[in-house]
Amino acid sequence: MRAALKPPGAAFLDRDGTINVKAGGTGNYIESADELCLLPGVASAIRRLNDASLRVIVVTNQRGIALGRMTLDDLDLIHARLNRLLASESNARVDGVFYCPHEIGACTCRKPDVGLFLQAKNRWPDIDLQASAMIGDSPNDVTAGQKLGMRSLLVGGDLPDLPAAVDVLLEEPPDT
Protein backbone atom coordinates (compact mmCIF):
# COMPACT_ATOMS: atom_id res chain seq x y z
CA MET A 1 0.00 0.00 0.00
CA ARG A 2 1.30 3.47 -0.86
CA ALA A 3 1.67 6.16 1.76
CA ALA A 4 -1.02 8.81 2.06
CA LEU A 5 -0.65 11.87 -0.17
CA LYS A 6 1.08 14.67 1.75
CA PRO A 7 2.90 17.91 0.94
CA PRO A 8 5.06 18.60 -1.05
CA GLY A 9 2.79 16.51 -3.24
CA ALA A 10 -0.23 18.07 -4.90
CA ALA A 11 -3.62 16.79 -6.02
CA PHE A 12 -4.11 17.37 -9.74
CA LEU A 13 -7.75 17.07 -10.75
CA ASP A 14 -9.43 16.93 -14.14
CA ARG A 15 -12.51 19.13 -14.31
CA ASP A 16 -15.32 17.81 -16.53
CA GLY A 17 -16.59 14.46 -15.26
CA THR A 18 -14.39 14.57 -12.15
CA ILE A 19 -15.39 17.83 -10.45
CA ASN A 20 -18.45 18.85 -12.41
CA VAL A 21 -21.19 17.17 -14.41
CA LYS A 22 -20.18 16.84 -18.06
CA ALA A 23 -22.21 18.67 -20.67
CA GLY A 24 -24.83 16.44 -22.23
CA GLY A 25 -24.19 14.59 -25.47
CA THR A 26 -21.05 13.69 -27.37
CA GLY A 27 -18.75 16.57 -28.20
CA ASN A 28 -20.60 19.01 -25.98
CA TYR A 29 -18.78 21.46 -23.75
CA ILE A 30 -19.56 23.49 -20.68
CA GLU A 31 -19.68 26.81 -22.54
CA SER A 32 -21.01 29.20 -19.91
CA ALA A 33 -20.80 29.56 -16.15
CA ASP A 34 -24.47 28.78 -15.57
CA GLU A 35 -23.96 25.30 -17.07
CA LEU A 36 -21.43 24.29 -14.41
CA CYS A 37 -22.85 21.95 -11.75
CA LEU A 38 -20.68 20.19 -9.17
CA LEU A 39 -20.88 16.44 -8.81
CA PRO A 40 -22.13 15.17 -5.42
CA GLY A 41 -19.58 15.26 -2.61
CA VAL A 42 -16.92 17.06 -4.65
CA ALA A 43 -16.79 20.24 -2.57
CA SER A 44 -16.28 18.36 0.69
CA ALA A 45 -13.68 16.09 -0.95
CA ILE A 46 -11.71 19.10 -2.16
CA ARG A 47 -12.05 20.63 1.32
CA ARG A 48 -10.44 17.49 2.76
CA LEU A 49 -7.50 17.99 0.38
CA ASN A 50 -7.29 21.64 1.50
CA ASP A 51 -7.36 20.54 5.16
CA ALA A 52 -4.47 18.15 4.42
CA SER A 53 -2.45 21.23 3.28
CA LEU A 54 -2.23 19.92 -0.27
CA ARG A 55 -2.29 22.16 -3.28
CA VAL A 56 -5.37 21.39 -5.36
CA ILE A 57 -4.72 22.07 -9.02
CA VAL A 58 -7.21 21.67 -11.86
CA VAL A 59 -5.72 20.54 -15.18
CA THR A 60 -8.27 20.55 -17.98
CA ASN A 61 -8.40 20.25 -21.76
CA GLN A 62 -10.71 22.94 -23.12
CA ARG A 63 -10.81 22.32 -26.86
CA GLY A 64 -14.10 24.23 -27.07
CA ILE A 65 -12.02 27.40 -27.24
CA ALA A 66 -10.13 26.19 -30.34
CA LEU A 67 -13.45 25.22 -31.90
CA GLY A 68 -14.92 28.68 -31.25
CA ARG A 69 -17.58 27.30 -28.90
CA MET A 70 -16.44 29.58 -26.07
CA THR A 71 -13.91 32.31 -25.34
CA LEU A 72 -11.17 32.64 -22.76
CA ASP A 73 -13.45 35.11 -20.95
CA ASP A 74 -16.18 32.45 -20.86
CA LEU A 75 -13.70 29.99 -19.39
CA ASP A 76 -12.62 32.51 -16.74
CA LEU A 77 -16.28 32.95 -15.73
CA ILE A 78 -16.76 29.17 -15.57
CA HIS A 79 -13.77 28.82 -13.25
CA ALA A 80 -14.92 31.76 -11.12
CA ARG A 81 -18.27 29.96 -10.67
CA LEU A 82 -16.40 26.76 -9.79
CA ASN A 83 -14.57 28.59 -7.01
CA ARG A 84 -17.79 30.20 -5.75
CA LEU A 85 -19.61 26.86 -5.64
CA LEU A 86 -16.74 25.15 -3.81
CA ALA A 87 -16.55 27.98 -1.28
CA SER A 88 -20.28 28.16 -0.68
CA GLU A 89 -20.76 24.38 -0.32
CA SER A 90 -17.75 23.49 1.85
CA ASN A 91 -15.44 26.48 2.15
CA ALA A 92 -13.19 24.61 -0.30
CA ARG A 93 -10.86 26.04 -2.93
CA VAL A 94 -8.65 25.16 -5.83
CA ASP A 95 -5.23 26.75 -5.77
CA GLY A 96 -4.80 26.97 -9.52
CA VAL A 97 -6.43 26.12 -12.82
CA PHE A 98 -4.34 25.24 -15.85
CA TYR A 99 -6.10 24.64 -19.16
CA CYS A 100 -5.28 23.71 -22.72
CA PRO A 101 -7.31 25.78 -25.20
CA HIS A 102 -5.74 24.14 -28.26
CA GLU A 103 -6.87 21.76 -30.96
CA ILE A 104 -5.80 18.12 -30.72
CA GLY A 105 -2.18 17.70 -31.81
CA ALA A 106 -1.40 21.43 -31.78
CA CYS A 107 0.57 21.63 -28.51
CA THR A 108 2.30 19.81 -25.69
CA CYS A 109 -0.03 20.99 -22.94
CA ARG A 110 -3.07 18.93 -23.92
CA LYS A 111 -3.42 15.79 -21.81
CA PRO A 112 -2.10 13.10 -22.21
CA ASP A 113 0.91 15.41 -22.67
CA VAL A 114 2.30 16.94 -19.50
CA GLY A 115 2.56 20.66 -20.27
CA LEU A 116 -0.21 21.67 -17.85
CA PHE A 117 1.55 19.89 -14.98
CA LEU A 118 4.86 21.53 -15.87
CA GLN A 119 3.15 24.94 -15.87
CA ALA A 120 1.95 24.23 -12.32
CA LYS A 121 5.42 23.06 -11.29
CA ASN A 122 6.85 26.30 -12.73
CA ARG A 123 4.38 28.33 -10.65
CA TRP A 124 5.05 26.27 -7.48
CA PRO A 125 8.61 24.88 -7.74
CA ASP A 126 8.27 23.12 -4.37
CA ILE A 127 5.71 20.63 -5.72
CA ASP A 128 7.16 17.13 -5.85
CA LEU A 129 5.44 15.66 -8.91
CA GLN A 130 6.38 12.09 -7.99
CA ALA A 131 4.75 12.60 -4.60
CA SER A 132 1.62 13.98 -6.29
CA ALA A 133 -1.52 12.39 -7.65
CA MET A 134 -3.71 12.82 -10.72
CA ILE A 135 -7.43 12.10 -10.56
CA GLY A 136 -9.47 12.14 -13.74
CA ASP A 137 -12.20 10.40 -15.65
CA SER A 138 -10.36 9.54 -18.87
CA PRO A 139 -7.38 7.41 -19.83
CA ASN A 140 -5.67 10.61 -21.05
CA ASP A 141 -5.78 11.99 -17.50
CA VAL A 142 -4.26 8.84 -16.04
CA THR A 143 -1.61 8.61 -18.75
CA ALA A 144 -0.50 12.21 -18.17
CA GLY A 145 -0.05 11.60 -14.46
CA GLN A 146 1.77 8.33 -15.03
CA LYS A 147 4.24 10.00 -17.42
CA LEU A 148 5.37 12.13 -14.46
CA GLY A 149 5.51 9.24 -11.98
CA MET A 150 2.33 10.30 -10.17
CA ARG A 151 -0.17 8.03 -8.54
CA SER A 152 -3.05 8.22 -11.03
CA LEU A 153 -6.64 7.27 -10.30
CA LEU A 154 -9.42 6.81 -12.84
CA VAL A 155 -12.83 8.02 -11.70
CA GLY A 156 -15.43 5.67 -13.14
CA GLY A 157 -12.79 2.97 -13.45
CA ASP A 158 -10.58 2.51 -10.39
CA LEU A 159 -13.03 4.37 -8.16
CA PRO A 160 -16.62 5.59 -8.49
CA ASP A 161 -16.03 9.30 -7.89
CA LEU A 162 -13.73 12.04 -6.59
CA PRO A 163 -14.73 11.59 -2.92
CA ALA A 164 -13.71 7.89 -3.10
CA ALA A 165 -10.42 8.83 -4.78
CA VAL A 166 -9.68 11.37 -2.04
CA ASP A 167 -10.40 8.68 0.57
CA VAL A 168 -7.74 6.48 -1.05
CA LEU A 169 -5.19 9.30 -1.35
CA LEU A 170 -5.55 10.48 2.23
CA GLU A 171 -5.74 7.14 4.03
CA GLU A 172 -2.78 6.18 6.14
CA PRO A 173 -1.37 2.69 5.67
CA PRO A 174 -2.02 0.40 8.65
CA ASP A 175 0.76 0.06 11.21
CA THR A 176 2.74 -3.13 10.84
Q: List pLDDT tens digits, range 45-97.
A: 999 999 999 999 999 999 999 999 999 999 999 999 999 999 999 999 999 99
Give the amino acid at 84.
R
Question: What pTM, to 2 d.p., does this model score?
Answer: 0.95
Report the distance separating Cα 93 and Cα 84, nearest Å.
9
Catalytic residue among 16, 74, 137, 161: 16
In contact, 57 and 95? CB cutoff 8 Å = yes
**104 residue type, one letter:** I
Tens of pLDDT, residues 84-120: 999 999 999 999 999 999 999 999 999 999 999 999 9
Question: Do residues 163 and 44 make contact, with C-beta atoms less than 8 angstroms apart?
Answer: yes
Candidates 14, 74, 137, 141; catalytic one: 14
Judge whether 73 counts as a catalytic residue: no
Instruction: Tell me the domains of the chain and their CATH numbers.
Output: 1-22+29-119 (3.40.50.1000)
Active site residue 34: no
